[in-house]
Amino acid sequence: MPTLDLAVYSLLGVAIFALVNIFSSKMNAAFKDRKHKILSFFGGITATYVFLDLLPTLQQSSQYFQQIGGSLVALYEDAIFLVVLVGFLVFFILEHLTFKSRRTHPRETSKPAEHQHTSRQVFAVYLATSAFLVFVLSFVLIFEFNSNLIGGLLFATGVSMHLAISNNALIEHHKILQIKYGRYVLGTVPFLGWITSVVFPEGIAQAYALLAFISGVILYHSIRNEMPTSLGRSSLAFFLIGAMFYALLLIGHVLFRALS
């Protein structure tokens, strides 16, 4: 069993995940005028988190993946990144189905596509995938805190920013269903992930194998939702500020550990 301090730190982290999931729609409304600047700032943090923290963590944790895959994985040392690719492709397909579902509605309701939302079936699949992502991130959190307290805090920060972005995408595609049902499901899942990590503290190998899969999803979000676009929906300045801010935190943390 993890120590009490470790359990409390990770519980506070998943509580923040839950709050972000539940109140994302209200935060969107509260920051309506500055929404895209704030999301761009969060996007800069998340993109930096992916390339300077998440992917290097997966590279270092490939030993755990080999514990599951055995000799088959040993033949290809970077097999863990095949799992990342699978996660990326799965969410790419879901996004394609989502937009396809939205495009079919204008012919039925005569409303433009941007005012349409997806079918319940597509929403259910999208929500299940998002819930799995949140579950894995919450499950892994306790192992991140176990490695290093500051590292765990930085991990929790990057994840929280990503959840704010992904919830915005859910609201964009499935507004009514997400606000009525989805946010409560996603607000419950973090605690299920935390309970699983406490009950199975030896599951570090499984945790990082699952993290590899959902890393593909996070990477997709970094490209699809978080990079500045030419559509006037993002702020390049705030994106770069967020990226540089989080990069300085990560680099500062590494230098501090090296010098201490």
3-state class (DSSP) for residue 59: helix
How distant, in Å, are the alpha carbons of 74, 120, 208, 213, 229 from that of 69?
Answer: 8, 36, 13, 14, 39
CB atoms closer than 10 angstroms to residue 243: 22
The residues, ordered by sequence, that sit 6+ positions from 86 with a Cβ below 8 Å of its Cβ are: 213, 216
Cβ count within 10 A of residue 125 = 16
CA 201/CA 196 separation, integer angstroms:
8
C-alpha to C-alpha distance for 55 and 148, rounded to whole angstroms: 17
118-139 pLDDT, tens digit per residue, is: 677 778 887 888 899 899 999 9
If we measure between CA atoms, which residue out of 160, 222, 220 comes closest to residue 27? 160
Q: Where are the domains of the chain?
A: 4-9+38-259
Q: What single DSSP character describes residue 235?
A: -
Q: How far does Cα 46 stand from its chain's mean position?
A: 8
248-259: pLDDT as tens digits: 999 998 898 888
Q: Which residues contact 101 (CB under 8 A, 6 or more apart)?
A: 118, 119, 122
pLDDT at 113 over 80: no
Residue linked to tokens 């990342």 = 84
Average pLDDT score over residue span 39-68 = 80
* pLDDT tens digit sequence for 8-43: 999 999 999 999 989 887 776 666 667 778 878 888
For helices 236-259 and 149-177, give the axis angle rounded to 10 degrees: 150
- pLDDT reported for residue 115: 45
Mean pLDDT value of segment 77-105:
76
Retrieve residue 102's tokens.
Answer: 């939205």
| Dihedral, 67, 68, 74, 80 alpha carbons, nearest 10 | -110
* More confident position, 157 or 57: 157
22 alpha-carbon distance from chain centroid: 15
SS3 112: coil
| pLDDT, mean of residues 157-161 | 88
Q: Which of 88-97, 133-142, 152-161 has the lowest mean pLDDT?
A: 88-97
What mean pLDDT do residues 77-97 have?
A: 80
Q: Where are the alpha helices (DSSP H) in 110-225?
A: 120-147, 149-177, 183-199, 204-224
Number of neighbouring beta carbons within 10 Å of residue 33: 7
Split at pLDDT 50, 70, 90, the class of 194 is: very high
Q: What is the pTM of this model?
A: 0.80
Least confident window among 10-14, 139-143, 144-148: 144-148
The stretch 65-92 carries a mean pLDDT of 72
* Residue 239 half-sphere exposure toward CB, CA atoms < 13 A: 16
